[in-house]
Homo-oligomer: A and B are copies of this chain.
Amino acid sequence: MATIEDIAKKLNISKGTVSKSLNGAADVSETLRKTVLETAVELGYTRRPRKQEAKHLCLFIKNMLYAEPSDFGYDIVIGFRKAAEPAGFLVSVVPLDDAIQTGFTYDAYMLKNNFAGAFFLGLSLSDPWLGQMQTSTTPAVLLDNYVKINPTTCYVGVDNNEGMELAISHLKQLGHRHIGFLSGTLGSYVNHVRHSAFFDALRKYDLPEAHHLAGNAVYVSECLQKHLPSLLQAGVTAIICGHDLLAHAVMVHCQELGLRVPEDISIIGFDDLPICAYTTPALTSIRQDRTQIGKSAFYAVSSLLAGVPISTLLLHTQLIVRQSTAAALPAPKIVQLPPVSGR
């Protein structure tokens, strides 16, 4: 393992300057500090924890709301804290802006701030730090992102295949045969996984697959405009959505088009956010238990810290059946679609 002396030698500076740089002293320039941190990472330097000092974990959040109980991230953050703090860890929540990611490499940022490990919420496939995870050395647990081979990274999430099978099996029992799927952008790993899981589940339950029955788009409104009309024209009697807010928007839009939910069309969401109980009708949804996701992410990060190279940790899902799903109509109801606007 590299020492402060090794770093000093490599950069041809004094041990005192290295030490000051690592410890954030004010009289070291930001440029030198960055060089020292990156050299330390390159040489494999790690801080020796002081006795009695609590280990510090960082919970990075991007592209995700978490301030209110109705937000997706809220219970995840609480679950993580609830597991980490009694085990003697400090947890800092850091909104991950682009400045952080371009200012430092992931490993250098963690070393600089004396964080032992991280839990990431909401990284997209284009985030620079996600690319670095191929070779990073600081334990990182990623919600809904999978990094192969690196033994210090772990993917945490729900068993999307199981969730999708629960939804498809429920719809099949209700007599549905033509089922559509709408979701967010494929620039996110988990949307890819749910998209494949949807088709795998159709095959498993022997239902017709037609690739035009699935659509995805970055924005909810784009999804409604671009994909919902063709699903309805193709005669789907049920739609599964990649997240609850999209499902809610699809439900309202169908109602505006004169379709009754669930009599004319069944709708299923994903996540089981608090809103599901309060939509009209109440939304059937594939539940991810977010408090338990937070807790299991702590299990994962503590395994990585103990050198147990967990790659993947998935939680069971549940289908919460409410009022937005019902028996399929013998034939899909034909709706008069408004002309597509130029937007």
CB within 8 Å of B: which of A306-334? Answer: 306-316, 318
By beta carbon, the residue of chain B nearest A306 is B295
CB within 8 Å of B: which of A277-320? Answer: 289, 292, 295-296, 299, 303, 306-316, 318
Majority SS at the chain A contact face: mixed
CB within 8 Å of B: which of A80-114? Answer: none
By beta carbon, the residue of chain B nearest A158 is B311
Inter-chain contact B315/A311, CB cutoff 8 Å = yes
Please indicate the chain B residues that have their CB under 8 angstroms from the CB of A313 in the complex: 310, 312-314
Q: What per-residue 1/0 map shows which CB atoms of A153-175 lie under 8 Å from chain B?
A: 00000110010011000000000
- The answer to the question of A151 belonging to the interface, with a C-beta cut-off of 8 Å to chain B, is yes
Chain B nearest Cβ from A158, distance in angstroms? 8
Size band of the A side of the interface? 20 to 34
Q: What per-residue 1/0 map shows which CB atoms of A229-245 lie under 8 Å from chain B?
A: 00000000000000000
- The answer to the question of A46 belonging to the interface, with a C-beta cut-off of 8 Å to chain B, is no
Inter-chain contact A292/B312, CB cutoff 8 Å = no
A121 and B179 alpha carbons, distance in the complex (Å): 39
Known: A151-B318, A310-B315. 16 other contacts (CB 8 A): A148-B159, A149-B166, A159-B311, A292-B307, A295-B303, A295-B306, A295-B308, A296-B308, A299-B303, A299-B308, A308-B315, A310-B314, A311-B315, A312-B313, A312-B314, A313-B313
